[in-house]
Amino acid sequence: MNYQEALNKCKEWNQEHVLQYYEELNEKEKQELLAQIEETDFSVLNSLKNLENIAKKGVVSPLPSMQLSEIEPMKEHYETVGLEAIRQGKVGAVLLAGGMGTRLGSDAPKGVYNIGLTRDLYIFECLIHNMMDVVKSADAWIPLFVMTSDKNHDATVNFFAEHDYFGYNSEKVWFFKQEMAPASDYNGKIYMEAKNKMSTSPNGNGGWFISMARNGLLDVVHKRGIEWLNVFAVDNVLQKIADPLFVGAVIEKNVEVGEKVVRKVNPDEKLGVVCLEDGRPSIVEYYELTDKMRDERDENGDYAYNFGVILNYLFSVSALERIMSRKLALHVVEKKIPYLDKSGNPVKPEEPNGYKYEQLVLDMIHELDSCLSFEVVREHEFAPIKNKTGVDSVESARELLQKNGVAL
Ligand code: UTP
């Protein structure tokens, strides 16, 4: 794309300012900026005009979960089915590690955060350690796909290599990059990160399957006969990955997706809850939960929207392939975005100063026909690290790890 074409494209989207430093750039930098303008999908900015529609939900009703009391008598059976599927190579895992982890306040990938107290214990290490439990019981490696972004790819890949994959089989690990999206101020003007670079951020965790496809990894999935993909977040250090019990239940229930859920500690807890939306599986975000829904009870007198998702889903690959061309909603998320001030100096804001545009994995659930909501024991499987201190933090996760016998 030449300068004129870039200018035309920017004008079309009211973003001419991204070329304001063009004359100050050297030839290489000019080309970098033109290439970025060519690649960038400015249409994400349209979501700003559409905020109300994005938030609109259909008719929401409760989705019953498979609770611990129902799982217990089936435990052995499900585990046998799950282990068999893992042994046959039908189950892969996808680690979503493309996020920026801004709340944790470190520039490094979240997974390299050291949560040890008397020894080194990295977040990635905890996850691999949890996977190794299953590898040992199944006596089979689980293919692991790790999603990164432009911002943290090299640091992530190098970290795994430096630590010898924490004992995992490196031949069973694939890294792939997700797509990026421009980040803007509150008026939809894209920030500049440098004079030759628009501010971008990873485009959310909802594009993981498309990004796998773009990176040629569906060939690996097909060649290996992987039928199920267990997608999980980087920050829950207690979670079970490719958990045979969960895998077996999802297979036996013959659904297109399974979601691990925990019982909420109180009706106001900030967790997305499982539900039906217009009769199809869906998730209501905590901020979408009305007072009426929050207080609604089921026939047993329990809260009707009582089970929250923990970002651990088991998707059927064939179902994902069926829905992969569908467009997911874009969520406009307020975040801290580094930018250049009026004099061209870089600024790292302390408070949110604009929007990122993200697709979310939870929106994939609504595209599928059937879903098993599967309860897990919260104290054993849910220790998310979002913040340094307080709720869902390094501190709270440490406490939970120790309660589960992990030496820190
Ligand atoms: P979060 O929304 O908690 O992560 O994503 P974040 O964006 O990294 O954190 P903050 O809000 O800036 O503090 C949940 C999971 O989804 C992944 C994250 O890495 C985490 O595992 N994720 C998020 C991606 O892989 N890509 C994204 O674009 C966003």
**In sequence order, which residues have a C-beta less than 8 Å from that of residue 78 and are 6 or more positions away?**
71, 244, 245, 246, 247, 248, 249, 252
> According to the model, what pLDDT value does residue 85 have?
98
Name the band, by pLDDT with cuts 50, 70 and 90, for residue 102: confident
In 3D space, the residue among 177, 127, 124 whose CA is nearest the CA of residue 148 turns out to be: 177
Q: What is the mean pLDDT of residues 238-245?
A: 98
Residue whose Cα lies nearest atom 7 of ligand 1: it is 99
Model confidence at 50: pLDDT above 80: no
Cα separation, 22 vs 20, in Å, equals 6
Q: Is 233 in the pocket of ligand 1 (CB under 6 A)?
A: yes
Between residues 54 and 144, the one the model is more confident about: 144
- The kind and range of the H/E element at 99 are none
Instruction: Report yes or no: 99 and 146 within 8 Å, Cβ to Cβ.
Output: no
**Cβ count within 10 A of residue 356:** 25
Backbone angles phi and psi of 72, in degrees to 5: -50, -55
Q: State which ligand 1 atom lies nearest to the alpha carbon of 204.
A: 28
Q: What is the mean pLDDT of residues 368-390?
A: 97
- Residue 312 Cα distances to 119, 152, 232, 315, angstroms: 28, 22, 5, 10
Q: What is the mean pLDDT of residues 262-275?
A: 95
CA 15 / ligand 1 centre spacing (Å): 27
Q: State which ligand 1 atom lies nearest to the alpha carbon of 387.
A: 13
Instruction: Report yes or no: 236 and 382 within 8 Å, Cβ to Cβ.
Output: yes
> According to the model, what pLDDT value does residue 48 have?
85
Model confidence at 54: pLDDT above 70: no
CATH architecture of 49-403: Alpha-Beta Complex (3.90)
> According to the model, what pLDDT value does residue 47 have?
85
| Angle (CA) 143 149 153, round 5° | 70
Instruction: Report yes or no: 245 and 108 within 8 Å, Cβ to Cβ.
Output: no
Give the lowest-confidence range in 18-27, 100-109, 194-203, 299-308: 100-109
Instruction: Report yes or no: 208 and 147 within 8 Å, Cβ to Cβ.
Output: yes
- Residue 377 Cα distances to 5, 261, 314, angstroms: 56, 9, 17
Pocket test of ligand 1: the residue of 44, 95, 100 to mutate, having most ligand atoms within 8 Å of its CB, is 100
Q: Is 126 in the pocket of ligand 1 (CB under 6 A)?
A: no
Which neighbouring-strand residues pair with 146?
95, 175
Instruction: Report yes or no: 218 and 235 within 8 Å, Cβ to Cβ.
Output: no
Q: What's the whole-number average pLDDT of the chain?
A: 95
Model confidence at 55: pLDDT above 80: no
Residue whose Cα lies nearest atom 28 of ligand 1: it is 204
Between residues 249 and 52, the one the model is more confident about: 249
Locate 158 and state its tokens.
């190098």
**Cβ count within 10 A of residue 290:** 12
> According to the model, what pLDDT value does residue 105 have?
86
pLDDT digits 0-9 by tens, 146-172: 999 999 999 999 999 999 999 999 999
Instruction: Report yes or no: 95 and 205 within 8 Å, Cβ to Cβ.
Output: no
Backbone angles phi and psi of 187, in degrees to 5: -100, 10
Give me the half-sphere count of Cα atoms (radius 13 Å) on the Cβ side of residue 383.
24
Give the lowest-confidence range in 49-58, 69-78, 179-188, 254-263: 49-58
Q: State which ligand 1 atom lies nearest to the alpha carbon of 149.
A: 26
Give the lowest-confidence range in 41-50, 84-93, 141-150, 300-309: 41-50
pLDDT digits 0-9 by tens, 279-322: 999 999 888 889 999 999 999 999 999 999 999 999 999 999 99
% of the chain surpassing 90 pLDDT: 90
Q: Is 393 in the pocket of ligand 1 (CB under 6 A)?
A: no
The pTM is what?
0.95
β-pairing, 173-177 vs 144-148, is parallel
Q: Is 204 in the pocket of ligand 1 (CB under 6 A)?
A: yes
Helix (H) and strand (E) counts in the chain: 15, 18
- What stretch(es) of the chain map to CATH 3.90.550.10? 49-403
Model confidence at 52: pLDDT above 70: no
Cα separation, 244 vs 161, in Å, equals 28
> According to the model, what pLDDT value does residue 233 have?
98
> What distance lies between CA 219 and its chain's CA centroid?
22
